[in-house]
Amino acid sequence: MKKAFIILFLIFLIFISGCNNNDLSVKLFSYSDSIPGVKHVSEFDLWSGGTYFDNDETKHVLLETKLGPIEGEYLGSRVRLFEYFTTKEYKDSNNDTFEIAENGNICSYFWGRSNQIKTDQITKEECLEIANSFLSNFVNVTDYSINVELKEGVDMYVISYNKYINEIKTADQAIIEVDRNGNLYSFYSTLLGQIPNDTILEYDMDRINNMVIERLDDEYKGIKKEFDLIRYKNVDNTLAMINEKTFVIVCTVDVECVNLFDDNGESVMGERLQFVIE
């Protein structure tokens, strides 16, 4: 009797596990629609618009921020990719644009001025120190994986900050550009400091990747005979939020439909798709 109970209990656990996997859905919300014969349909509305709207805000405001008081003229509002709240955009007295997140923090700033590069350029390490000093106004930079790259052609460093939870990249991230005169050129962030380090995630990423591939196969099955092969490239998974308590995975994929030539050349038609897995 005891043995039979154990077997039934194991079957129940397997059933529950299977149900949890089946509860996940893959919904398309963004596509470039550049391959003829493929009819994509958006299934998720939160990030589909991507347009600004007027929230009937006070047009001129004095904002208290962690960088000090900033005056700005209201330009518009939007819900940005990876986020669930409305972000407001302003223009300051220098015509530089910045955005304020729901929590009152600056989440982007575009200064966009890079003076002629001096002969005594500052080093990569000094550019990183400037970026770290700026970002430390908002978060503890040691919580983030940091990558520094030289932007070709403009002599500017791009410093990327990404928070990882259980080896999953999250949308708690920032990008800062610093020119080699030491000027901040731009700052952009999403969900900055809003995903706690102790967040518990139980995603089966192998399962999710397989579900996305199955969905892609279904999206392109109608034109499969027209191409020699269809490639899925640059798959990127990012943990995002659709409300204060609900996480989702945003999967971005580049798709290439390829015809091969006898001389080893190829003709490629490509587009980018984005899915939300919830």
Tens-digit pLDDT profile for residues 121-131: 889 999 999 99
The residue among 137, 169, 190 that closes a domain is: 190
Q: Are residues 205 and 177 in the same domain?
A: no
**Maximal CA-CA distance, the chain:** 84
Q: Are residues 220 and 161 in the same domain?
A: no
Burial of 66 (0-12, 13-18, 19+ CB in 10 A): exposed
The residue among 165, 190, 215 that closes a domain is: 190
Q: Are residues 70 and 155 in the same domain?
A: yes
Mean pLDDT of the chain: 88
Q: Are residues 260 and 166 in the same domain?
A: no
What is the pLDDT at residue 165? Answer: 96
**Comparison of pLDDT for 15 and 119, the residue scoring more:** 119
Q: How many CA atoms lie within 13 A of 59 on its CB side?
A: 0
Rg (CA), the chain: 23
How many helices and strands (H and E) does the chain possess?
3, 13
Q: What proportion of the chain, given as a percentage, has pLDDT over 70?
A: 88
Q: How far is it, in rounded angstroms, from Cα 102 to Cα 88?
A: 8
Residue 53 lies in a domain: no
Residue 79 lies in a domain: yes
Q: How far is it, in rounded angstroms, from Cα 37 to Cα 14?
A: 41
Q: For 47-73, what is the mean pLDDT?
A: 80
Confidence of residue 134 (pLDDT cuts 50, 70, 90): very high
Residue 54 lies in a domain: no
Contact 108, 135 (CB under 8 A): no
Q: How far is it, in rounded angstroms, from Cα 216 to Cα 208?
A: 12
Residue 9 lies in a domain: no
Q: Are residues 183 and 88 in the same domain?
A: yes
Q: Are residues 168 and 74 in the same domain?
A: yes
Residue 76 lies in a domain: yes
Residue 75 lies in a domain: yes
Q: Are residues 68 and 180 in the same domain?
A: yes
Residue 172 lies in a domain: yes
Residue 7 has pLDDT above 70, yes or no: no
191 φψ region: left (φ > 0), alpha (ψ -120 to 50), beta (else): left
Q: For 256-272, what is the mean pLDDT?
A: 92
The count of structural domains within the chain is 2
Segment 195-218, tens digit of pLDDT: 999 999 989 999 999 999 999 999
What is the pLDDT at residue 22? Answer: 57
Q: What pTM, to 2 d.p., does this model score?
A: 0.85
Q: Which domain range does residue 105 map to?
A: 60-190
Residue 272 lies in a domain: yes
Segment 213-231, tens digit of pLDDT: 999 999 999 999 999 999 9
Q: How far is it, in rounded angstroms, from Cα 25 to Cα 249?
A: 10
